[in-house]
Chain A
Amino acid sequence: MSDIAAFWLDSLPQLLAGLSISLQVTGAALAIGFPLGLLLALGVQSKVKAVKLPSLCLVEIGRGAPALVVLQFAYFGLPQGGLTLSAFAAAVFALAWNTGAYTSEIIRAGLESVPFGEIEAASAMGMLPRDTLRFVIIPQGLRVAAPALLGFAVAVLQATSLCFAIALPELTSNAYMIGTITFRYMEILSLAGILYAAICVPATIAVGVLEQRLGKHAL
């Protein structure tokens, strides 16, 4: 038992370094992916074909293609087309696209939940559609979408483990590396799992609390 503790203690710095990269990828992917999701949600609803069709394509491909495929495409495929991305950039690219595509649906549902009467009242007062969108629809729609978006953020952190496939030294890759050297896969992967859980479990609980709070303040 003390043997495992010592092994874990030895490996911890490398795993924490990996976790830090996992969190950085997650943060960057969300920082790009959530706004992208909002833009795609609006784009898909647009009446302008030149906006709607590309938005639909981005959403459908992002949702249709497994994240692992997009990840490998970005890292191994794009250089063939002359664009070389670092493993970190490729990871952010793939996960941000994935996030944008999936959250566009979550956000669209949120935007559509805003009662039509409010939109009509704004219009009757002479508010421009873009003002109505900005002040009435988006703030309320995002509030409705918030719990699902935070839930998705947890899923993105877990999905960073896919970056193992492009040799990004994130948490799973580092754990695996230690495993190949020490052959103590079970212990090291358990520790990696605990570290993921240390972030994801509280985050999931926070989502639940947020959901309750928002529910209470709703009409």
Chain B
Amino acid sequence: MNHIPDTVNLSRMHPVGEPDKPILRLEAIRKKFGEHVVLDDVNISLKSGEVVAIIGPSGSGKSTLLRCVNMLGPATSGRVVIGDLVIDEAVPPTAQQLTQLRRSVGMVFQSFNLFPHMSVLRNVSLPQERVLGRSRKDANKRSLELLARVGLEDKADQYPARCSGGQQQRIAIARALALEPQIMLFDEPTSALDPELGLEVLAVMQELARSGMTMLVVTHEMNFAETVSDRVIIMADGKIIEEGASREVIRNPTSDRAKRFLKAVKDR
């Protein structure tokens, strides 16, 4: 893709705070649906600019975990720490905490979730106006920059229904980035897409990773996990069963459960 800006720009896009100090910590996250334990003592720590892929069989709690991070579905217990923001999952957050959390963390869903009654430009600008208080003019300017970044500035005046799935997902990424999050969560962003369309979304995510964005990505794309992410976490039955440098984890898993999962994926 030819829309990837030069590296000088990239380094300024997502200013890295203190290197090595975690930007996001998930501590002892546990979640039950009734008696059913879906997340069992999950601990994850992300450094600024780090890209971590979470893989694992369906139903292992990956989506549930992401939804704990931004409190879309709070956990039963555990803590989420982002800088000086400390969220106790068991306690309803204050409005101010929730605002700070949601501003710090952007999320991209499998189903895009664009607003179909608004133009692409409105989709990206409206949240900036309502959440950040930007003027319409400033918001539109930022939206066009980000649409250009995901290669879709010419779609600004279209409606989402006129865009392909891959384009819609790139718009959803631009919409989330427009709110200047510190961390981006992705929940199987390419699972609803044909492989080719998935590739254009993955290319945007790769560019985002290179630009220094901190990313937690639930994915089935082994290639992305292996080549783009710094670390891979394998989850099964609500637990982390394996984690480490991407290539290591994917090529040489140690646990039987992880081996079985990776074999199943490769044989697919």
* Residues of chain A whose beta carbon lies under 8 Å from any beta carbon of chain B: 115, 117-118, 120-128, 131, 135-136, 139-140, 143, 217-219
Query: Judging by beta carbons under 8 Å apart, are A125 and B131 in contact?
Result: yes
Given contacts A126-B99, A126-B102, contact A140 B117 (CB under 8 A): yes
**Which positions in B face A, CB cutoff 8 Å?**
70, 72, 98-99, 102-103, 105-107, 109, 111, 113-117, 126-127, 130-131, 159-161, 172, 175-176, 179
Pair A126/B103 contact, Cβ less than 8 Å: yes
Consensus secondary structure, chain A interface: helix
A21 to B241, CA, bound (A): 75
B117 contacts A125, C-beta separation under 8 Å: no
Q: A117-B111, A219-B161 are in contact. Are A122 and B127 (CB under 8 A)?
A: yes
Instruction: Give every chain B residue within 8 A of A136 (Cβ-Cβ).
Output: 115
Q: How far is the CA of A15 from the CA of B175 in the complex (A)?
A: 57
Contact B109 A135 (CB under 8 A): no
| Chain A residue with Cβ nearest B132 | A126
| Inter-chain contact A117/B113, CB cutoff 8 Å | yes
Q: Can you list 20 pairs linking A and B with CB atoms under 8 Å apart?
A: A117-B109, A118-B115, A121-B114, A122-B127, A123-B72, A124-B105, A124-B107, A125-B102, A125-B127, A125-B131, A125-B176, A126-B98, A126-B102, A126-B127, A126-B131, A126-B179, A128-B130, A136-B115, A139-B117, A218-B116
The residues of B that contact A128 with a CB separation of less than 8 Å are 130
Please, which residues of chain B bring their CB within 8 A of the CB of A126?
98-99, 102-103, 127, 131, 179
Q: Which residues of B contact A115 (CB under 8 A)?
A: 113
**Smallest Cβ distance from B107 to chain A, in angstroms?**
4
Contact A217 B113 (CB under 8 A): no
* Alpha-carbon gap, A5 to B98, bound state (A): 73
A-B interface pairs (CB < 8 A), number = 61
Q: Which of A120, A126, A139, A143 has the most CB of B within 10 A?
A: A126
Identify the closest chain B residue to A120 (Cβ): B72
The docked-state distance in angstroms from the alpha carbon of A127 to that of B98 is 11
Measured CB to CB, the nearest residue on chain B to A139 is: B117
Bound CA span A117–B187, Å:
13
The CA-CA distance from A123 to B105 in the complex, in Å, is 12
Q: Which residues in A have their C-beta under 8 angstroms from that of B115?
A: 118, 122, 135-136, 140
Option from B99, B102, B117, B126 in Cβ contact (under 8 Å) with A124: B102
For the complex of A and B, the 6 pairs showing the least CB-CB separation, nearest first, are: A126-B102, A121-B113, A117-B113, A124-B107, A126-B131, A125-B127
Answer whether A121 and B109 are a contact pair too, CB < 8 Å, given A127-B131, A131-B130, A217-B161: yes
CA distance A200 to B168 in the complex (A): 42
Q: How far is the CB of B64 from chain A (nearest CB, A)?
A: 14
Q: How far is the CB of A99 from chain B (nearest CB, A)?
A: 25
Instruction: Knowing A117-B113, A118-B113, A121-B113 are in contact, say whether A127-B127 is a contact too (CB < 8 A).
Output: yes
CA gap between A122 and B176 in the complex, in Å = 10
Q: Is the CB of A143 within 8 A of B117?
A: yes
Additional A-B contacts beyond A126-B179, A140-B117, A219-B161 (11; CB < 8 A):
A118-B114, A120-B72, A120-B109, A121-B107, A122-B115, A123-B72, A124-B102, A125-B107, A126-B103, A139-B117, A218-B161
- Kindly state the separation between the CA atoms of A142 and B127 in the bound complex, as whole angstroms: 21
Give the distance to chain A from B219, nearest Cβ to Cβ, in Å: 18
Q: Which of B106, B116, B159, B160 lies in contact with A125, CB distance below 8 A?
A: B106
> Are A125 and B109 touching (Cβ within 8 A)?
no
In the bound complex, CA of A219 to CA of B161 (Å) = 6
Find the residue from B72, B105, B116, B176 having the highest chain A CB count within 10 A: B116
Complex-state Cα separation, A121 to B169, whole angstroms: 13
Q: How far is the CB of A128 from chain B (nearest CB, A)?
A: 7
User: How many Å lie between the Cα of A72 and that of B169 in the bound state?
Assistant: 57
A122 to B172: give the CA distance in the assembly, Å. Answer: 11
Which residues from B are CB-within-8-Å of A131?
Answer: 130
